[in-house]
Amino acid sequence: MSDEQERVLETARRARHAAASLRLLTRHEKDAALLAIADALDARAPEIVAANESDVARAVEAGTAAALIDRLTLTTARIADIAQALRDVAGLPDPVGEVIRGYTLPNGLQVRQLRVPLGVVGMIYEARPNVTVDAAGLCLKSGNAALLRGSSSAASSNEALTGIMRDSLVASGLPADAIQMVPGETHESVKYLMTARGLVDVLIPRGGESLIRSVVDNSTVPVIETGVGNCHVYVDKDADIDKAIAILLNSKAQRVSVCNAAETLLVHREIAEAFLPRALAALRDAGVTIHGDAAFEAYAQETGCDFSPVTDDDWAAEY
């Protein structure tokens, strides 16, 4: 066994030990820790930004695409959004112990299906440091230990974020090993995580198609397979036009670089005449280029949109 494999497995063992106590936490204990982490992120934002700047500088030097650099970048405002997301999670009902369904047998025996923690959840993801906090927060809320394996291009950011979260766990009386980064920056460390069956209960890959396919094909640990982006917005003939335009702008223009930004707009032909002129004008004002079919072209010309005829490749593209 290599040193790197032993370090990965030891990290998983510590997570498993922490998971035993996490599953017994009350809602108050979990929510208090989440709020403590949120406050610490706000208070230590300059520290996070400084660490992130080193990651961004390396990405720029390596010629990384602008959209990927945007995903990597953390600002004080983005950190505040991440912290607020944790506060929102703290405000959610506790999923642990929720009765999903149940029934009583003729002999009086009650049968119940309950939500319970999984144990150790491994997250494998790309250069999105916000995922480090999002994943850890959701794991903590659901009583699970988090093993996080982010991209090496976000290593400094992830180290800073994880350190702050672990400090907050200790200050809240919880085990620091409830949140850990998987050691090692080679692809071998990912392989060791994917094959740590018995220590890791489930893996969740989040990123591009090649990453997700690699985890699904090679993991001996159970995998929850996620989507790869290319999200669609469909506007039906009975849609509220004002609401549809607001949803369209939010899903496309709020932050165009993220994987869940909308890429395709499908419109029912019976609402097209009322909807498209207003929608395309709003997209034009947001700086969005339209790759459309012949039916869209006339509306695009009418509103002065930046327009290109759609190709077969466009339907599968994630911009």
pLDDT digit of tens for each residue in the chain (319 aa)?
788 899 999 999 999 999 999 999 999 999 999 999 999 999 999 999 999 999 999 999 999 998 889 999 999 999 999 999 999 999 999 999 999 999 999 999 999 999 999 999 999 998 899 999 999 999 999 999 999 999 989 999 999 999 999 999 999 999 999 999 999 767 888 999 999 999 999 999 987 778 888 899 999 999 998 776 788 999 999 999 999 999 999 999 887 777 778 989 999 999 999 999 999 999 989 989 889 888 888 888 888 888 888 888 888 777 7
What's the pLDDT score for residue 81?
96
pTM: 0.80
Q: Residues near 108 by Cβ (< 8 Å), separated by ≥ 6?
A: none
Bridge-based pairing of strands 202-206 and 262-267 is: unpaired
Tokens 């009765």 correspond to: 99
Are 25 and 143 within 8 A, CB to CB?
Answer: yes
What's the pLDDT score for residue 55?
96
Rg (C-alpha) for the chain, rounded Å, is 23
Q: What are phi and psi of 196, to 5 degrees?
A: -85, 50
For residue 198 the two structure tokens come to 């018995």
For residue 234, the cross-strand partners are 266
Domains in the chain (CATH in brackets) are: 3-92+117-218 (3.40.605.10), 231-316 (3.40.309.10)
